[in-house]
Structure 1
Amino acid sequence: MKIADLITWFEKWANPAWQESWDNCGWQIEPGVLQEDARVLVCLTPTLAVMEEAIALRNSGIAANLIFAHHPLIFSPPKFLRSGDAIGEMARLAFTHNIGIYSAHTNFDQVEDGTADVLAQILQLKEVSPVVPTQPGLGYGRVGNLEPSLSLKELLATIQTRLAPSHLVSSPVANLEQAISRVAVLGGSGASFISAVVKTGAQAYLTSDCKFHQFQESRDRNLILIDAGHYATERPACDRLVQKFQDLNLEWVQLSQKDEDFRSFFQ
């Protein structure tokens, strides 16, 4: 499959027109690879480490020509590009080695098998629906039921086992044995959706990047807030994207091994 055909297929599923006004989905750098057979390296964040991984693959005989990322490389137009600057270096290397960079962000968040939907599947939620619908069948976050219910302690252990976050933070509770039967999820920074989650009747909300007072707000609204980190809550959707691309019989596709969490926790 040509890269142009792959992008056409993807955009029928997760249309860039659905992105938020502040977002920058779609082509970040297209160095003239549209008519090449797609050899895709999928990642969460397009960094120099991922670009170097793609170049190393090319040097080893696997001519990777597309970095397909969730996070955009460029959120706002840079005023200049120069050597040594991260975006400037990414652009230089992309054109030098003929490697495109494409991003699917808030459009990918909303769709079936997108970031939130994959989290709901990992927790095996039933009767799932968007927390904030945007159009029929699509929307931000997912809320559903646990059947059978789990104790909060069991839910936290399940999240730790299945997502393997580097750090798991939750609201303080008096009883870890309380039964949890309804859970909301949203990959990435989801604390701004707390009010919407409360309206769904969810008892617990799995997301990331939550601040001190957002834990307080959740406690005061009888919602157990669970922060598993940005990387752990969105990386699984990248793995699912690899599986979907494999189903298209691409010449080559792989999940990046150089994606970074950008955080270290010391005991």
Structure 2
Amino acid sequence: MKKVNGHEIISLFEQWSPKRFAEDWDPVGLHIGQLNRPVEKVLITLDVNEKVIDEAISEGANLIIAHHPPIFRPMKYIWTDTPQGRLIEKCIKHDIAVYAAHTNLDVAPGGVNDLLAQCLHLQQVEVMEPTLSDPLYKLAVFCPVDHADNLRAALAHAGAGAIGDYIGCSFSSTGTGRFTPIAGAEPFIGKVGNEEAVSEERIEVVLPGPLKEKVLKAMLASHPYEEPAYDFFVLDQRTEEFGLGRVGKLDNEMTLEEFALFVKKAFDVPAVRVVGELNTRVRKVAVLGGSGSKYIRAAKRKGADVFVTGDMDFHSAQDAEMMDLGIVDPGHHVEKVMIEGVAKKLEDMCNDMSYDVTFIRSAIDTEPFRFIM
């Protein structure tokens, strides 16, 4: 097993949940400390409070990955006699780095919203509110015919040419390339000052936007020419949509009252708030972790009978009622499903890389509300 530092762990994590998935207002990323240190244990938590920091110290964890950013609003000062300042001070004194993945983890396939949909056993799941989709690019590159096979293989290895269930897809055409090396050049073919005509292939491959830099590096590393000729074209087609929330169907239709009790059990919460007639039939469900008041119309547009989300405010609940959209509010804290989900995902990713690191699931209950029944 290989010793690892914080940068390597977060680099893996961001392959799954990249920062570009986050909303513009969301302060995701490293909040406290540094990543350029060896890491043996990582604590996964929904929130960061002083009890969680004490847990990390007790467990010997020197990296915390949290869902909710501990520094959500800009700070002008760090006063260590305040709760937030004391938390930051304790992290620094104990060399604990804190990294936050918030709306990017909501959007990520297999992230918070998919985990919530799994808890509800939803089928035929799709994105509720699309927030981004990546452009497709086409790379056209010219190289000597004798080197075309090697270059195609390098491009495929970097991920270019993957279309649906097919990999290594490309198109080639042949022609004649002409060039004249001038003083200072070190040509692979020909001599300085001589015009050259070379039989070349034009190789075309498609690739998603996030792979552009990786594919470019692979192409330049594998191309025999000192100055290869190539073009990137942006295509009209897009890759899969990413976004907030999920919509899916229940295995069996039930009443809103039955569904509310099902949600209460599925998320292990002491109570849920419900909007709508309790005898209404429910089959199609929208779910969104966190605060979902402003997404009731997105849920309705997707044809949902009921919307499961937290922090539903009074007026949004009235609006949902008027549009015949049921609401089940189990609270914001159901996002705690990310603790096990993130830990398991990172364990699998780090095992594949032979990283010697342990992931600890936080046992601290950070739910601020208490229910008196």
TM exceeding 0.5: yes
Following superposition, the deviation at residue 150 of structure 1 comes to 2.6
Q: Secondary structure at the match of 1:257?
A: coil
List per-residue Cα deviations over 1:49-84 (Å, max 9, x = no partner).
Answer: 100111122xxxxx2111110000111221101122
- Name stretches of at least 5 consecutive residues in structure 1 with no aligned partner: 58-62
List per-residue Cα deviations over 1:150-177 (Å, max 9, x = no partner).
Answer: 33233222211110123200014152xx
- Name stretches of at least 5 consecutive residues in structure 2 with no aligned partner: 134-239
Give the percent of matched residue pairs that are identical in Structure 1 and Structure 2: 33
Deviates more, 1:155-164 or 1:20-29: 155-164
Aligned counterpart for 1:238 among listed residues 339, 359, 366: 339
* Poorly superposed stretches of 4+, deviation over 6 Å: none
Following superposition, the deviation at residue 202 of structure 1 comes to 0.2
Amino acid of the residue matched to residue 27 of structure 2?
N
Amino acid of the residue matched to residue 37 of structure 1?
V
Partner residue of 2:254?
150
List per-residue Cα deviations over 1:10-52 (Å, max 9, x = no partner).
Answer: 1122111222222100000124x43313411111111111001
Aligned counterpart for 1:102 among listed residues 95, 99, 103: 99
Q: Secondary structure at the match of 2:282?
A: strand
Partner residue of 1:160?
264
CA distance in 2 between counterparts of 1:174 and 1:41 reads: 41
Partner residue of 1:74?
71
Partner residue of 2:208?
none
Deviates more, 1:78-87 or 1:104-113: 78-87
Is 1:87 matched with 2:91? no
CA distance in 1 between counterparts of 2:241 and 2:33 reads: 31
Partner residue of 1:51?
53
Q: Any conservation in 2 of the 1:44–1:259 contact (CA below 8 Å)? A: no
Whose Rg is larger? 2
CA distance in 2 between counterparts of 1:91 and 1:168 reads: 34
Amino acid of the residue matched to residue 4 of structure 1?
H
Partner residue of 1:60?
none
Partner residue of 2:121?
124
| Equivalent runs, 1:181-260 vs 2, <5 Å | 181-232=283-334, 234-247=335-348, 248-249=350-351, 251-260=357-366
Deviates more, 1:39-48 or 1:160-169: 160-169
Following superposition, the deviation at residue 181 of structure 1 comes to 1.1
Query: Kindly tell me: are residues 6 and 174 of structure 1, through their superposed partners in 2, closer, same or farther at Cα, counting changes over 3 Å?
Result: closer
Amino acid of the residue matched to residue 87 of structure 1?
Q
CA distance in 2 between counterparts of 1:202 and 1:81 reads: 45
CA distance in 1 between counterparts of 2:300 and 2:285 reads: 10
Q: Any conservation in 2 of the 1:45–1:259 contact (CA below 8 Å)? A: no
Report the structure, 1 or 2, having the larger strand content: 2
Q: Any conservation in 2 of the 1:94–1:100 contact (CA below 8 Å)? A: yes
Amino acid of the residue matched to residue 129 of structure 1?
E
Partner residue of 1:112?
109
